[in-house]
Structures are given as C-alpha cells and as structure tokens.
Structure 1
Amino acid sequence: MSVFPIILSQTKFTHRDGVKYPIEERALQFGDGVYEVIRIYNGQYYLLKEHVDRLFRSAEAIKIQLSSSKEEITDQLLELLKRNNIDGDAKVYLQVSRGSAPRDHIFPQDVSPNIYAYAQELPRNLSKLENGVHVITQRDVRWENCYIKSLNLLPNVLAKQEASEKGCFEAILHKDGLVTECSSSNVYLVKDGKIYTHPATRNILHGCVRLRVEQFAEDLNIPFIEEAFTLDDIAEADELFLSSSTSEIMPIINVNGKQVSNGKPQIITRKLQDAYEKDANITENKITV
C-alpha cells in the first residue's frame, strides 16, 4: 500500500520526504495525542463528519485544544485528496498531538498542537469480506478510557500481533470472559435473528462504522441489542462479525480454531454488508456471494 506524496503538516501541504519532526514531539515520547483513520471510496470520503467529530471528542477528553475548527480540518482533508489526485480506494491517517516541547510529564504551556495527515492506497479486501476470517481471543488488558482514540495502542498492537502469528485476522478482547471489542475493531454476535454488541461505554471505542451498523439494523428491522456477550456465548452464535473503517463489515467464521455455525458468512452479515456498500456508494469491486 503506497503512501501518496503530498501530506498535510500543520495547515500546509508539503512532500512527505521534506517533513521532519523534533525529537521532543509529545506523540513520540508520551503517545500524547489522538488520531483517526478515514476510509475513501472512489476518491470520496466515507463518514468524514463522524470521524472529525470523534477527533474533537478525543482531543477534548485529553485536554488538547485544537487550533483549527472542524470546518477548517474538513476543508484541509478534502484538499489533501485533491492535491494527491485520489480517485480510487484509499485511507487517510490523521493525527493530532499536544505539540513539541522539552520532555516533561506536565503539559507544556503556550505550545500549539501538531497536526498532520497523509493518504495511502487501500483496495477493498474482497476475498476476506466474501469468505470471512479467523480470529483468536485475548484478555483485554487496556486502560479504562478506550472510548478515546488515543495513540497509546501497545496492548492493541500486541494482541493483533499474536493473532497474526497464529494466522488469524483479529483478536477478540474480553474482561473475565465478557467480550468488549477487538484489537482494532468492534465485534458483534448474532443469535436468533438479533445482533448483540458491547454497549458504547468508556471500555470500547465508539466506532463510526458501529454507528452505521446500528442504523442498518434499524432499517432492516433487525434488533440491535447493546448488551455484552461472553466467550461462552460465541460457541452458540449463529453469526459473528466485526466492523471498522478499514475492515468494513467482516464476517468471522472461526474463533480459536473452532468453526462459527457452519463456517460460512450468514444472512444477517450479508444484509449488513449490502447496506454498507449502498451507504458508501460502492458501485465497483463489490462483494459477490
């Protein structure tokens, strides 16, 4: 996945090779910042407003006062696409840190936040979307403010790496057997025609695609129940799936080496995938089932 050459650095656009950050950048030394990953289909952002809104909520939660307004950041992100002539499928990584200052745990005074964004090609993973993925389970050892999309992702990285080393796509996280979410996505269980997922508390990220899943379910008259399920419930699930901006709505067909239902994506997941494609105005490279 190649990175497009023009990036947004502060409020200016420049070539990626010319960008240098000081070593005393708080994102590097403390993970003191927040971020978003925004999906692009056919050169158009998907859920841009939702991502920008969440960026500001996360920044407020860790007491970063952004120097740009939502409208200004939105305009800059749109300009980023134009400057890179993006007309296909991609993603934008957007990061805000508290700024650059001599290293000290205490917030620096009179320092402006650092903001940058870059775009990267990202074709749809049609094979996995059509056939489903294998996952593992892991104990959730993260902090208690997972609703903040912060840069502190080491537990997530370790869980995802463990999944990768076992030939799996994701790791389902749990606290004493109660499922929260995955290392980089929200997760859902389907039983008797109803969708279950962890409530949008401080313990999970309030996913932008998760909001759409809830709306799709309402439109399709499928009960959407914000109630945490357990590892034991997974063994009896009719369907499992996960969602994120890069994974879309992804069927889970195997957990810890054990098949989910008949080991194939099922009807409710398929209906949600179809709703997603329509909502994102995806007309090419669609899922075929």
Structure 2
Amino acid sequence: VADKGTHSYLDDDRNENIQIYINGSFHHRSEARISVFDSGFLLGDGVWEGIRLLNGHLVFLQEHINRLYHGAEKLAIKVGKNPKELTALIQKTLDINHMETGVHIRLIVSRGLKKTPYQHPSVNIEGSSIVIIPEYKEANETVNRNGIRLVTVKTRRGTHNSQDPRLNTLSKLNCISACIEADKAGV
C-alpha cells in the first residue's frame, strides 16, 4: 500500500505484467526504456497528464488532452500526433493490456532526443517522445476513513511567470521538495 496523502492507492500484482507504449511500440514493464538523451530525462522537458479509466470510460479525457496540447504549445513542443491519434494510442494501450476499469494512465510527451546534454531546444535531433503507462490503481479507502495529516512547508509551487503551475510539466522538483519536507516533519 502506498499510503502517503490523497494519492494513496492499493498495490496491484497485475501491474507487474503491463505493456507500456513508447514511441510506436509496446514493451513489458521490466523492459520499458527511454534514452538517457531524451529531453524528459535530461531536463524534465515535457508535459504529462494523469487520466482515469473507470467502467470503460476515460474520465475527462477531452479536458486532459486539451491541457496536454496547451502545455506542449506553451513549451513549443510538437506532440507529433493529433488529439484523435493520441486518443487512439491510449485506447490501443488499454486494449493490449485488457484494461476496463480501475486504471490510472500516465500520458507523457517530451521534446524528444538531444544530440548532447544541453537545454536549448535547437540541439534536439528527433521529434517528441510519447510514453503511455497504464497501471491498475484503486484508491486506498483508509484515507477517506482516517483522513490525512498535513503540514505547511516552505517550498512553494512556481508562479505563472517562472514555472506555470497550470501546466503539468515533467519537472516536478518543487513538488518533490515539498514531499521531502513533509516527510522530515513526520507527515
């Protein structure tokens, strides 16, 4: 059981055998890899969405797709697929994994491969990388029964003119720092 806060979920053994979509092909979870030269790995240069599948329905799918494309546009990332194609890839990923409900999908789009570890987009040598990770994740109901503990930490999310909190960017360093602070505070 992953039991930290509002994202608490129950472990599911079925996740050990999921197929993950990476740039046009599917890979067993244990074999899923991206290059160390991918912009997402090197710099957190990309966007993501978390999408729920409940009873065969992708919840708020259009809103998630719109936000992903909005974030990609703000970061000048060309997704490389139109929304209809991307939605079809999500469905294909679910179909290959025989998933119908209780699933959390992490949809990730990075700027793609770089020829060298440097931040400027001009050193990218290939188009965007697209990764779709589907996992069975049912909410841990003990959070609803027992509540959660909170603490105020010093770390803050970025402002709209530094790291716009309205965009789901791959760089979540400020959120990770806040989690570490909360852990140190005993929460």
Establish whether TM, by shorter chain, passes 0.5.
Answer: yes
Task: Find the counterpart in structure 2 of residue 134 from structure 1.
Answer: 149
| Helix, strand or coil at the partner of 2:118 | coil
Equivalent of residue 119 in structure 1, options 116, 134, 145? 134
Task: Find the counterpart in structure 1 of residue 119 from structure 2.
Answer: 105
CA–CA distance in 2 between the matches of 1:156 and 1:18?
Answer: 28
Alignment of 1:131-210 (within 5 A): 131-144=146-159, 145-168=164-187
CA–CA distance in 2 between the matches of 1:137 and 1:48?
Answer: 32
What's the % identity of the aligned pairs?
Answer: 25
CA deviations 1:192-242 (Å, max 9, x no partner) are xxxxxxxxxxxxxxxxxxxxxxxxxxxxxxxxxxxxxxxxxxxxxxxxxxx
Deviation at 1:43, TM superposition (A): 4.3
1:72 aligns with 2:71: no
Q: Which shows bigger deviation, 3-12 or 74-83?
A: 3-12
CA–CA distance in 1 between the matches of 2:186 and 2:125?
Answer: 47
Compared CA separation, residues 95 and 40, structure 1 to 2 (3 A): same
| Helix, strand or coil at the partner of 2:139 | coil
CA deviations 1:112-135 (Å, max 9, x no partner) are 000101111211222212442221
Check conservation: 1:33, 1:151, Cα contact below 8 A.
Answer: yes
| Helix, strand or coil at the partner of 2:138 | coil
CA deviations 1:18-63 (Å, max 9, x no partner) are 3332221111111111111112223432111111111111111111
Deviation at 1:140, TM superposition (A): 4.3
Report the TM-score, using the length of structure 2 for normalisation: 0.80
Deviation at 1:110, TM superposition (A): 5.2
Q: Quick one: which amino acid aligns to residue 82 of structure 2?
A: S
Deviation at 1:109, TM superposition (A): 5.0
CA deviations 1:77-122 (Å, max 9, x no partner) are 1121111111331201111110111222211355200010111121
Task: Find the counterpart in structure 1 of residue 72 from structure 2.
Answer: 59
Deviation at 1:8, TM superposition (A): 1.1
Report the TM-score, using the length of structure 1 for normalisation: 0.54
Q: Quick one: which amino acid aligns to residue 139 of structure 2?
A: R
Task: Find the counterpart in structure 2 of residue 6 from structure 1.
Answer: 19
Compared CA separation, residues 140 and 163, structure 1 to 2 (3 A): closer
CA–CA distance in 2 between the matches of 1:167 and 1:50?
Answer: 36
| Helix, strand or coil at the partner of 2:153 | strand
Relative contact order (C-alpha < 8 Å, sep 6+): which is higher?
Answer: 2
Alignment of 1:5-84 (within 5 A): 5-84=18-97
Check conservation: 1:43, 1:89, Cα contact below 8 A.
Answer: no
CA–CA distance in 2 between the matches of 1:134 and 1:165?
Answer: 13
* CA radius of gyration, larger in: 1
| Helix, strand or coil at the partner of 1:111 | coil
Measured on the aligned residues, the alpha-carbon RMSD in Å equals: 1.9
Check conservation: 2:39, 2:111, Cα contact below 8 A.
Answer: yes
CA–CA distance in 2 between the matches of 1:131 and 1:158?
Answer: 25
Q: Quick one: which amino acid aligns to residue 105 of structure 1?
A: Q
CA–CA distance in 2 between the matches of 1:158 and 1:83?
Answer: 36
Deviation at 1:167, TM superposition (A): 4.5
**What number of residue pairs does the alignment pair up?**
168
CA deviations 1:267-286 (Å, max 9, x no partner) are xxxxxxxxxxxxxxxxxxxx
Q: Which has the higher helix share?
A: 2
